[in-house]
């Protein structure tokens, strides 16, 4: 496997920040009621290499816990055709 490309990672992170602003506005518009707040995480990765990054509006510890809960409910060995 090749080494991560730092320039590619920086570009992915910049794109992620731009997309995060859009996600934040959309969530507020469609889902925020009575001050309810919604969290999100956006994962960006290269199909052809090791580059991967993610961005979230939540605290890192909260997001890591959420990802762990998601993986526990959706084990990789139980992937079905409709979830690909």
Query: pLDDT for 10-58, tens place per residue?
Result: 999 999 999 999 999 998 888 877 778 888 999 999 998 899 999 999 9
Does residue 43 lie within any of the structural domains?
Answer: yes
Does residue 55 lie within any of the structural domains?
Answer: yes
Does residue 15 lie within any of the structural domains?
Answer: yes
Count of domains for the chain:
1
pTM to 2 decimal places: 0.71
Residue 82 has pLDDT above 70, yes or no: no
Residue 84's pLDDT is: 46
Does residue 1 lie within any of the structural domains?
Answer: no
Domain of 33 in residue numbering reads as 6-77
Q: How many CA atoms lie within 13 A of 24 on its CB side?
A: 10
Residue 12's pLDDT is: 94
Does residue 38 lie within any of the structural domains?
Answer: yes
Does residue 19 lie within any of the structural domains?
Answer: yes
Q: Tokens 């409709």 — which residue?
A: 82
């Amino acid at each position: 496997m090749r080494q991560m490309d730092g320039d590619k990672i920086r570009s992915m992170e910049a794109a992620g920040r731009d997309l995060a602003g859009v996600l934040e506005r959309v969530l507020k518009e469609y889902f925020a009621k009575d001050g309810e707040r919604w969290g999100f995480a956006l994962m960006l990765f290269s199909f052809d290499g090791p580059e991967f990054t993610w961005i979230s509006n939540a605290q890192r510890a909260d997001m890591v816990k959420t990802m762990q809960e998601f993986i526990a409910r959706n084990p990789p060995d139980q992937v079905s055709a409709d979830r690909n």
